[in-house]
Amino acid sequence: MRELDPARKVARLADGGEIPYDLFLGVPVHQAPAVVQASGLCADGWIPVNPHTLETVFPGVYAVGDVTSVGTPKAGVFAEGQAAVVAAAIIARQAGRQSPEQYDGRGQVYMEFGRCQVARLDLRAKFIVEGFLMRKRRHPDLAGNSALHGWSGDPGS
C-alpha cells in the first residue's frame, strides 16, 4: 500500500491499483529507527546478532527487541526473553565466567478467532507452533489439551 485517500475511502497500491475500504486498519512497514541504522551496527536495516547470545559483532555489545535480526516476531514478550539472556550474560561476564543462558526464541501470543475462541500459541524462533485452543476467559491450564487442536476445534468444551 502506498497511501490512503480518506476523502474517497480508497487505499492506493504501489502498482497503481486501488482498494475501497470502510474502516482501514494497517500496520506500517517495520524498520529499525534511523538513529540505530546510522549507528554502524546495522546490516540490511537490522542489527545482526548471534541468535543464541544476542551479542553483536562487537564483543560485549548486545541488542534486543525490534532492532535485531534474530527472527522472532516484533513483540514485547520476545524482547523480554532476550533481555533476560543478555542480563545473565552481562552478570556472568562481570564475574569472569561464561553465561549458561541461551536465547531459544520462545514467547507466547494469543489469537482471537471469534465465537469466544482464543488460541494461546507457544512460539519459538523458527516458528514451530505448540499450543491449544481455549474459550475466552478460561485459564489456559484448564483447556485440557496441550497440543494445537486445529484452528476451529475446541478441546476445552
Q: Kindly report the pTM of this predicted structure.
A: 0.63
Query: How far is C-alpha 33 from the geometric centre of its chain's CA atoms?
Result: 17
Instruction: Tell me how far apart the alpha carbons of residues 96 and 103 are, in angstroms, rounded to a whole number.
Output: 20
For the four alpha carbons of 38, 42, 45 and 46, in that order, the dihedral sign comes to negative
CA-to-CA separations, 83 to 24, 75, 146, in angstroms, rounded: 34, 13, 27
Amino acid found at 147: A
List, for residues 59-74, the tens digit of each pLDDT value: 999 999 999 988 887 7
pLDDT band of 125, cuts 50, 70, 90: low
**129: which 3 cell numbers?**
507452533
Cα radius of gyration rounded to whole Å, the chain: 21
Instruction: Tell me the pLDDT tens digit for each residue of 11-47.
Output: 999 899 999 999 988 877 788 899 999 999 999 889 9
> All 3 cell numbers of residue 124?
519459538
| Domain map (residue ranges) of the chain | 1-30, 35-94, 106-157
In this prediction, residue 126 carries a pLDDT of: 56
At residue 76 the predicted structure's pLDDT band, cuts being 50, 70 and 90, is confident
